[in-house]
Structure 1
Amino acid sequence: MKVFTTIAELRQQLDSDRNAGKTIGLVPTMGALHNGHLQLVKTSVANNDVTVVSIFVNPTQFNDKNDLRLYPRTLDKDCALLETVNCTYAFAPSVEEMYPTEDTRVFNLGLVAEVMEGKYRPGHFNGVAQIVSKLFDIVRPDNAYFGEKDFQQIAVIRAMAAQLGYTFNIVAVPIVREPDGLALSSRNTRLTESQRRNAPKIAETLFKSRTFAASHSVKETIDEVVNTLNAIPEMRVEYYEIVDGNTLQPVTDWNDSDYIVGCITVYDGEVRLIDNIAYRRSEK
């Protein structure tokens, strides 16, 4: 595996690969890689001749400077992991390389970016659109891979791609979980022992809510999930919304859509964890 730190060198290599008729897959990451990321890489390796994994902690998508400061950075370990899954290239640029000047672009990402994370993390998705569009322009992939744990982010990236006229495939890969159900996240490494013991209750509560939902309303289901998790020491639900899986707008009745997803954000101590679960799944 080759590691690139400059845009020019990576582009030169990819131009050569493209001219040789090779297909290119891109997996954008912020590093601190875990098995969820590796599943994205494996999917790309299986479906493309060349796989590029970017490792870049993007400052423009953090609305909390403390979160940016504490975000784990483990480049050497990340590269060693990528070697084990046959990644072709890692791209690990500096902030100065990606942002030689301030990126002042403002994206109109529509309603999918205004709810949930968009409401609680102002500017976050504009920062995501800035960095992902930069990576798309640098790599020019045939396929780009994102994890479904960041369910809303995928919808936002698809909206951004449509706005900018990107025509390649944006592929969503299912959530990878620990054996106890916790959705894999780079932030999990920041949990204390007691917080880590509690964290799987997020997924456990979501899965149980499917059964609860069969005989209760949307609102009752939301209340049940929120009250259950808020009763656990050190846990605080920031939001739990049950939405149309395509538009991300809230539903009030189980018959409002054929594709219904519950999206949650929970603080476990000071660590912000996200997860989601499908109640009905019939995508357009």
Structure 2
Amino acid sequence: MKLNPFIKYLIGSLSLLVFGTVTAQSASAKTHYLTNVPDYSFLETKRTIHTTNDYFNDVKITIPKGTIFQATGVSIGVKTGHPFLSIDLNGLSWHLRKIVIDSKHDQQSTASLWLTTANFKRVRTPSYLAYYQATKRFPASYRGTLHQGDKYPQDDSDVTAKSNEVRVTNDGYLEYTENASVQATKQIKPQYSVKVQRTIKKGNNTYLYTASNIPAIPSTHIRSTGKYQYRFKFINTNQHLVTTNPSMSNPDVFGDMTVVVRYYIGNTQTKYYLCTQFISK
């Protein structure tokens, strides 16, 4: 039976509409990836990320939407050619890193995550990290951590040395930790952790405003209510100090040295240092 020309036209139009819609959906569902993500640049999660710890894959990790973190070790898939990375949870606040720090494994990175534009976006360096050069290459476990003390300890004591630490996490929490190992590879539970609400940078001074106090470090109480009740002043003196160590095989020969920058917090003369460089022969 021959179809009425109008019916044939109607069927053709419907087919075009259906297949056109499918094609459009396929195109819109195409995955896009971030390009040009340098080491130590910053990314923000565009949606909640559910993943696990790296290698062992037995600890469930949730990173909320809007979390800012530092990108390191971006790699390219051999078969796919697409970029991916692992997030180092040491750089994030305690409520996010707790689950891996408390786990039985010494593994603080997430499993590999594809750098898709649906999951992540590039952002500027957060203002609350203005007290140091956050995008500069630093020794891995010392990024942004101020150790209380004159300078880095000598080799014969650095393994066992401990100090009080102050730092701001990549997602914006001011933390204070007592008696932390100077050579620690993971960030243990802090005694205090408060959200930074505002930052002002003036010359070598960085002012951090919070709603809660950290009694262990100097602050100025400026308001009784609201988000900006306390102000913490970080002073970067730009004074570099060096700890040198002889060679292990020959004490008369240079072996290595550690370079630090001196800081003060508040108007006190309590010394802090930030490790900036390790140099070995």
Q: TM-score, length-normalised on structure 2?
A: 0.26
The structure where strand makes up a greater share of residues is: 2
Relative contact order (C-alpha < 8 Å, sep 6+): which is higher? 1
Return the index of the structure with the highest Cα Rg: 2
